[in-house]
Copies of this chain bind each other. A is one copy, B any other.
């Protein structure tokens, strides 16, 4: 006990003498406060217990620093990842307990890496354009260094000058140089380092953090202002200018915003501790805190909306623990962050920021996170379209619509202009496939994006939007798609009972102008809010127009006769994603001008009623054809096809209805109330669309197609009377 106290004392003295360490995610004051509070802040005690148990588990085994060999999910890959987690745990354990064994472990492991690193060429797995040395891609190497810098910062004062010199010379400086400049045989890292891209955020953060830990001002400058230190051709600060829109939206979408935010927040925390003069959290009108809050809004039930390349991740991802903790530390007035931490995240960082969060949760300061409808503009200047999210005004309804009309979204973007998705009652109702990938599962294409990500998941038909002539938007050409963006025509979330977004896309399908309007309407006569979807295609030439809707749950009924594949089933097409669709069933509706598809998800029913003609073909599909390695998930879609049309407008009523309680075996309202949908007027100037419901109710959506001006008055004469309104749209209900 005496010895322990002495060690603690000696370590605190050391901290006093070298105020500069720790100074990345921990500070000397922070560590003192953590020690003081031990046993008093349960969430933080748990975080610290977790860190100490991680550190102890590490100590229980020999150091393993294997020769790099495997890709994602393989042994050496995972081992090198575990190693940085272990070093961080041990570094923090040393700071908090002052027990030398922890510091020694970090020092010894760093020594082992310093022995190995100079011997390494490029990694043997050749799947990346910028291979790493420890890992198959440089990206993982940056992540390794971000973590290891934290550990080094913690044990810096413990290590002898000789030890530090050895690891800095053999490991940290060569690695920083590698991240900035690559090496003989592949200099691609230099381009990445100075790019406006999330891989560059990792690289600059890694270089900046190890620079701070080593006290190397030059590395810090290069990290902040790019290789040439001008701030004009790369670097962290320029990334803050370029990578987020003014609304804090990251162009790759929520899933990669989650990933991108991690190094941004970690390095910003380090900058805040080391260079408070930069006021990094206030930079660009507080862009980093705005980015965190936008990211939290781009989720449903704590899971990020799945547009573009995306797997199922959410607030519990470790990146979000970093983001939320550090954001709160930067702005403790935002008490909703405590709610996210308390409800979705089962741990806090064992750092100054994590301590602040745990302490203030314990003080009962959390305030509920609320969701609001909003448009998140895309593009550095906010002029490249955007993603709109509509939320139920009554939070108890827990429904959300996402509508994507953005720029392409860099390498993780999909060809899905004007796509939309619907979330309700805790479920994905109209879904986005997200990415075709089995992350970290080596047996699945080494954990990388599978071939089907490009051949299916990115293709237009995998999304709930218009496909022209079975070809994807921009013919799936990345460079072409990167040139353009959709345009928001109008949004309005302020009117009582009506929330609406409208956007146009002029480039995705050559010669075809697309215009989609999605309205979320609360009526007095339907059980749940109604969604009206108006998707217009205008062209001088004849086309085949496909309107796919990917649905969760199970088909209940269709209001037309259909044939279903029984003994053999064929792929629907041969290219552009269609080769991956099994054609389950098909039919025409000769009986009604409104075609209704009803399905069940969870304990609720959904009916999509669309205006059709007897020539319209309906096809039910399932993903999985042309998928030789079982890479695709089995998902189901419903496609409405119009052939040989110049202009065509898909108009649908999406009704949420029904109470289905299996446990008490009670059910009600299981059939749609929709009696018909039709286009009363549909010209280049105006669309007037009518949806009729049981009980003589009717909802009419009027859109001014040629003017989005808020003050212009419109008047349309129809066979059913005159419609008048002001501004780009109107919704009439009776």
Contact = CB atoms under 8 A, between A and B. Distances in A.
B582 A569 contact: yes
Given A556-B441, A665-B440, A625 B313 contact: no
Contacts of A628: 564, 566
A312 B670 CA distance: 20
A662 interface: yes
Interface of A: 73, 78, 81-82, 85, 311-314, 316-318, 438-444, 554-557, 564-571, 579, 582, 584-585, 598, 600, 620, 622, 624-630, 633-634, 660, 662-668, 670-671
Contacts of A313: 662-663
A632 to B, nearest CB: 9
Given A316-B663, A566-B625, A667-B78, A443 B556 contact: yes
Given A566-B627, A568-B568, A670 B441 contact: yes
Copies of chain A in the complex: 2
A633 B567 contact: no
A664 B584 CA distance: 38
Contacts of A556: 438, 441, 443-444
A598 B443 contact: yes
A622 B569 CA distance: 12
Contacts of A566: 571, 625-628
A441 B667 contact: yes
Given A85-B666, A439-B662, A441-B600, 11 more contacts: A81-B666, A82-B666, A314-B663, A440-B662, A441-B660, A443-B671, A444-B556, A555-B630, A566-B625, A568-B569, A568-B571
A73 B568 contact: no
A625 B622 CA distance: 13
28 contacts: A73-B670, A78-B666, A78-B667, A85-B666, A317-B663, A438-B556, A439-B665, A440-B662, A441-B600, A442-B670, A442-B671, A443-B556, A443-B598, A443-B671, A444-B556, A444-B557, A554-B630, A554-B633, A564-B629, A564-B630, A565-B625, A567-B571, A567-B579, A568-B568, A569-B569, A569-B570, A585-B630, A634-B634
A667 B82 CA distance: 10
A633 B556 CA distance: 11
A564 B626 CA distance: 8
A629 B625 CA distance: 21
A567 B663 contact: no
A316 B567 CA distance: 40
Contacts of A625: 565-567, 569
Given A78-B667, A554-B633, A630-B555, A568 B567 contact: no
B312 A662 contact: yes
A316 B665 CA distance: 12
A567 B570 contact: yes
A471 to B, nearest CB: 19
B567 A626 contact: yes
Nearest to A558: B630
A139 to B, nearest CB: 12
Nearest to A314: B663
Nearest to A311: B662
Contacts of A667: 73, 78, 440-441
A129 to B, nearest CB: 21
Contacts of A570: 567-569
B569 A668 contact: no
A39 to B, nearest CB: 27
A375 to B, nearest CB: 29
A82 to B, nearest CB: 7
Nearest to A556: B443
Nearest to A582: B569
A565 B580 CA distance: 11
A664 B318 contact: yes
Nearest to A585: B630
A232 B85 CA distance: 73
Give the one of A312, A571, A598, A670 with max B CB within 10 A.
A670
Nearest to A570: B568
Contacts of A664: 317-318
Nearest to A565: B625
Contacts of A311: 662
Contact of A622 (B82, B565, B571, B634): B634
Contact of A670 (B443, B557, B567, B633): B443
Contacts of A630: 554-555, 564, 585, 620
